[in-house]
């Protein structure tokens, strides 16, 4: 049995906790490896390595740090196929999705290659008589990221890319469900020229998470996961004086106006709702057609589209999506489908009985489609995180705007329309953090910023882009005066109106 080890101070090391988590092959249902689960002491060892590396890395000029990021980007691109296969083997998503996972992370790495420019501070000459004022952004110290199973490449790179480029040293606690790729990213960062201790990968469960949140030398924590855990991470981390950004769950809506191009909408919904088996916080699991005519037509077209979807093993190039990550998660999705049916929603397409010939023990579940879903239902209120599309019919534009605006989550939303006026009004009024206009999955490009509202995010700073730069740095402002001679009077007091 292969053991997946921690990566600390530039090398893998054997943990001593004696505790392990099972890593499955979602295609077959078999255990393929064990991952070591760290103790608080082992987490502290990684922090000490990061502390030792911090002074030298922080003092490295931004151009040299950018060169490391350039080389890391090149190495990841050169290893793209191997990384995608490694990711798919543990997560279950198809190779094309895995490559997309890596690529979207690389786009943030690409942004960090320009770190010398974006780190420039502000300068005011002559703010007072002979006085200049300027600011600089400096790293925080040792920082950490806690990342989910669904994007084991993209989300770690979103976090450690900006953090490391700005001069911090980093502790990554990835999901124990698919931990191999994060370790490989740590190795590639060392190959790119980062000193040992700059990027460390520590595997673990709640013990490791709590150790990160409690550790006095970790100055900031970024988290992505479910909303309940995000709220816990934010509360516990901030209670220890840390800077925390904690991204939670989602229930993203797609509003379909009467003038929308339904051919395009159906294709977009198919990919956004069922792609990656729905295991995305920016998936589109709720469609809101406006008016009965649109709803009836969209329903029939979606049924026909779902019949064309191919579910297959992760290395099947023709499959639209593969298995979900675990047997427990598959059961959770199936339970939600039953709850929806019991609540009175119409289960138009039921994917629970799907079996893939030759892979009957794999964690596969077919696409499911509900009509007649109502806002008061549990399955509408909560995140299913699987290949399940729910239709909530709206009678008017006003009702369609209210649905996502009043939901507990506020991560992403999309509107499908040919009307610029309707799109503009919707984007202005809807109470959601990221909006797509004829774009089903509105994840911003790397030089903008990612973040939701309400229970989709805890903390006041988003990920990557300039918001990420602000999160991983602190501002120092200097007021300088250079007297002309030694006899000039100096006032060691707060300036007055004198």
The beta-strand segments (E) located in 57-114 are none
> How many whole angstroms separate alpha carbon 441 and alpha carbon 271?
9
Q: Are 412 and 384 in contact (CB under 8 A)?
A: no
Task: Look up residue 229 and give its two tokens.
Answer: 């855990």
> How many whole angstroms separate alpha carbon 312 and alpha carbon 486?
80
Q: Can you give the length of the chain in residues? A: 498
| CA angle (272, 277, 278) in 5-degree steps | 50
Catalytic residue among 95, 246, 281, 373: 281
DSSP code of residue 278: G
The values of phi and psi at residue 418, to 5°, are -100, -5
Closest C-alpha to 222, from 303, 140, 307: 140
Q: Are 453 and 410 in contact (CB under 8 A)?
A: yes
Residue 254, CB half-sphere, CA atoms under 13 Å: how many? 30
> How many whole angstroms separate alpha carbon 467 and alpha carbon 462?
5
| CA angle (55, 57, 59) in 5-degree steps | 70
Residue 298, CB half-sphere, CA atoms under 13 Å: how many? 35
Task: Look up residue 494 and give its two tokens.
Answer: 């707060």
Pairing of strands 453-454, 409-410: antiparallel
Which residue is listed with tokens 């709720």?
286
Partnered with residue 17 across adjacent β-strands are none
Residue 373, CB half-sphere, CA atoms under 13 Å: how many? 30
> How many whole angstroms separate alpha carbon 161 and alpha carbon 168?
10
Torsion angle, alpha carbons of 207, 209, 210, 214, to 10: 140
> How many whole angstroms separate alpha carbon 480 and alpha carbon 269?
57
Q: What is the C-alpha end-to-end distance of the chain, expressed in Å?
A: 78
Decide if 113 is catalytic.
no
Q: Are 275 and 92 in contact (CB under 8 A)?
A: no
Catalytic positions, please? 281
């Amino acid at each position: 049995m292969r053991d997946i080890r921690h990566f600390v101070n530039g090398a893998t090391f054997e943990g001593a906790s004696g505790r392990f988590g099972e890593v499955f092959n979602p295609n077959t249902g078999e255990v393929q490896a064990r991952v070591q689960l760290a103790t608080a002491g082992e987490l502290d060892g990684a922090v000490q390595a990061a502390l030792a590396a911090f002074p030298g890395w922080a003092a490295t000029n931004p151009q040299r740090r950018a060169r490391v990021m350039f080389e890391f980007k090149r190495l990841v691109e050169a290893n793209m196929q191997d990384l995608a296969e490694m990711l798919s083997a543990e997560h279950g998503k198809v190779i094309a999705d895995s490559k997309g996972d890596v690529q979207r992370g690389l786009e943030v790495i690409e942004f960090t290659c320009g770190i010398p420019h974006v780190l420039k501070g502000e300068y005011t000459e002559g703010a007072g008589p002979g006085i200049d004022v300027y600011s600089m952004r400096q790293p925080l110290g040792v920082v950490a990221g806690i990342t989910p199973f669904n994007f084991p490449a993209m989300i770690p790179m979103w976090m450690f890319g900006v953090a490391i480029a700005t001069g911090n040293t980093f502790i990554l606690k990835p999901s124990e469900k698919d931990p191999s790729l994060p370790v490989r990213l740590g190795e590639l960062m060392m190959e790119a020229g980062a000193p040992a201790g700059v990027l460390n990968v520590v595997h673990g469960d709640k013990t490791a998470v709590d150790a990160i949140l409690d550790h006095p030398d970790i100055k900031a924590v970024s988290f992505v996961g479910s909303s309940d855990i995000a709220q816990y991470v934010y509360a516990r981390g901030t209670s220890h004086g840390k800077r925390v950004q904690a991204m939670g769950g989602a229930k993203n809506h797609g509003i379909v106006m009467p003038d929308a191009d339904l051919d395009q909408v159906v294709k977009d919904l198919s990919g956004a709702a069922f792609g990656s088996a729905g295991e995305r916080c920016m998936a589109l699991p709720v469609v809101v057609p406006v008016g009965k005519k649109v709803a009836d037509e969209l329903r029939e077209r979606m049924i026909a589209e779902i019949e064309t979807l191919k579910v297959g093993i992760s290395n099947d190039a023709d499959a639209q999506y593969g298995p979900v990550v675990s047997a427990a998660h598959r059961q959770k999705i199936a339970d939600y489908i039953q709850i929806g049916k019991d609540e009175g929603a119409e289960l138009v397409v039921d994917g629970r009985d799907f079996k893939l010939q030759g892979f009957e023990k794999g964690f596969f579940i077919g696409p499911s489609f509900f009509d007649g879903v109502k806002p008061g239902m549990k399955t509408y209120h909560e995140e299913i995180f699987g290949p399940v599309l729910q239709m909530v019919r709206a009678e008017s534009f006003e009702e369609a705007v209210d649905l996502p605006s009043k939901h507990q989550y506020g991560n992403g939303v999309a509107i499908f329309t040919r009307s610029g006026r309707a799109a503009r009004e919707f984007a202005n009024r809807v109470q959601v953090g990221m909006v797509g206009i004829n774009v089903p999955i509105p994840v911003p490009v790397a030089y903008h910023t990612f973040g939701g509202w309400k229970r989709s995010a805890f903390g006041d700073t988003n990920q990557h882009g300039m918001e990420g730069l602000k999160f991983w740095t602190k501002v120092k402002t200097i007021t300088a005066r250079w007297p002309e001679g030694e006899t000039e009077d100096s006032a060691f007091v707060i300036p007055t109106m004198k």
